[in-house]
């Protein structure tokens, strides 16, 4: 069990560019979550998948954001036309669905939009 991994760990981009982040969950976990954390705040929920189905999206997730989990394994989070306000840490977590669910987090991708 190698834990949740995320790539890249850091990304610097210019305003208006598109970026894509990848998350690889713990292999037997069927749920995958994305959170965003800004400086001085706790993480905020963005969206989650059960297998390949995207079951919920936060109102924080504007139409510039899209997430996929095409084969129910890894997931990608894409931000189009980045804005300076998108600068944050993007965290991925995975879990096994069930009534006593525990989420395990990856190391995060830190995005800086210049």
Partner 1 sequence: AQSVTQPDIHITVSEGASLELRCNYSYGATPYLFWYVQSPGQGLQLLLKYFSGDTLVQGIKGFEAEFKRSQSSFNLRKPSVHWSDAAEYFCAVSRKEYGNKLVFGAGTILRVKS
Q: Which residues bind partner 1 (CB under 8 A)?
A: 4, 6, 31, 33, 35, 40-45, 48, 55-56, 91, 93, 95, 97, 99-108, 110
Q: Which is nearer to partner 1, 108 or 113 (CB)?
A: 108
CA 76 to chain centre: 7
**Joined tokens for residue 65:** 């954001």
Q: How far is the CB of 33 from partner 1 (least distance, A)?
A: 7
Rounded CA-CA distance 88/54 in Å is 22
Q: Which is nearer to partner 1, 43 or 86 (CB)?
A: 43
CA end-to-end distance (rounded Å), the chain: 36
Q: Which is nearer to partner 1, 80 or 107 (CB)?
A: 107
Count CB-CB contacts under 10 A for residue 11: 18
């Amino acid at each position: 069990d190698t834990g949740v991994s995320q790539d890249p760990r850091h990304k610097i981009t210019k305003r208006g560019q598109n970026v894509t982040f990848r998350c690889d969950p713990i292999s037997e976990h069927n749920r995958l979550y994305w959170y965003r954390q800004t400086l001085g705040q706790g993480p905020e929920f963005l969206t989650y998948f059960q297998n390949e189905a995207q079951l919920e999206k936060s109102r924080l997730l504007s139409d510039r954001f899209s997430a996929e989990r095409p084969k129910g394994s890894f997931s990608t989070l894409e931000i189009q036309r980045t804005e300076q306000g998108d600068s944050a840490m993007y965290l991925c977590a995975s879990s096994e669905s069930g009534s006593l669910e525990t989420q395990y987090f990856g190391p995060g991708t830190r995005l800086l939009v210049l």
